[in-house]
Amino acid sequence: MIIGRHRNTYATIDLSAIQHNINVERQHMNDGQALFAVVKADAYGHGLVPVAIAAQEAGVDGFCVALIDEAVALREVGITKPILILGITPVQQATYMAKYNLSTAVGDLQFLKEAQVQLEKSHLKLRVHLALDTGMGRIGFRNQKDLSEAIEFLEKYPNEFDYEGIFTHFSTADSSDDTYFEMQLNKFQNLMEVVKKRPKYVHVANSAASIWHKKCGGDLVRLGIGMYGLNPSGKEVDLPEDMQIKPAFSLSSELVAVKKVHAGDSISYGTTYTAEKDEWIGTVPMGYADGWLRRMQGSKVLVEGHECEIVGRICMDQFMIRLPYKMDIGKEVTLIGENNGKIKTAQDAADFAGTIHYEIVCSIAQRVPRFYKK
């Protein structure tokens, strides 16, 4: 992907905010719990390597990713702390993961059987975390029998496997209704009855569970969206007063063209917007190829502290906004962040788009450069 370094559209990532959020989480955790920073999906759009290095400086105990390639990228920049791959990985890559001293989620016995043959031949040991499906419906063991067989297999082959962890994931830990959460917790506890010897890490707490469900315990917290300063619950449940986290992501562009249009003039593809009177229109060099998708038509950005509506369809590389008056070319346009005392958040964008703030920040394309401040 070519990065657009010669246009004034960019994201700014505040690494000090990320470190602040890690410290806030530390103060909220139980004694003895480890903290793994979740940096999958390019650190939720914030930048994998810079965020991981900042998190390491803040004292996290390890990292979680989704892909083997993400984990290897961290190893190649010198990160030696534990790295857990949360997604199911191809069994053909078992020795490759072992070579890089990675931990991988395992959700079925067949993976272990096929991996054992490869690992024995290569004289390598693979770290594994057994995944339990307690109601997410994604990956993992679903009953005691299958789980028992997997544990017995791991114990039979200590030279090929380091049985490092066991975990589950709660699908409604961020909800004000804890009915389904309680069902999942009960199922997890039921499955854990066959675990006679606990591995090093028994973990269930994502950002939401660590905030609102401390009773679920565990030896490890997987800090994801909270590390980036966003409320895991969106607007449904307020954060506790002692969880004063700071958003780390801001997104800016500028006016590259300003023109006066007249009543009856239409803007952009499909003539979905027609001026009812004379108006000043500004063009912003960012579009759906940059992750500001067409569904954001009608949302508002900030220019000189004014909320300016996106009019007409968002193009691949540009969109147009209605200005309150003639403004100079080069004026800053804020999509996420602060502008002249006014603030637009990722949550605001998510509310307009009918989605979650995770998707907003993860959708900002790689061709939008990231700049980092400490």
Alpha helices in the chain (DSSP H): 15-28, 40-44, 48-57, 68-76, 94-99, 109-122, 144-156, 179-192, 207-212, 346-353, 357-363
**Rounded Cα gap, residues 200 and 203, in angstroms:** 10
C-alpha torsion sign, points 329, 252, 54, 19: positive
Q: What residues are labeled active site?
A: 40, 269
The strand pair at 273-274 and 266-267 is best described as antiparallel
Say what angle helices 179-192 and 144-156 make with each other, to 10 degrees: 40
Closest CA to 22 of 50, 55, 48, 53: 55
The strand pair at 103-106 and 83-88 is best described as parallel
Residues 6 or more apart whose CB falls under 8 angstroms from that of 42 comprise 48, 362, 366
Residue 326 is given by DSSP the state -
Is the Cβ–Cβ distance between 86 and 64 less than 8 Å?
yes
Rg (CA), the chain: 24
Closest CA to 54 of 37, 71, 72: 37
* Phi, psi dihedral angles at 373 (to 5 degrees): -125, 150
Structure tokens at 97: 């993961």
CB neighbour class for 137 (10 Å; exposed up to 12, middle 13-18, buried from 19): exposed
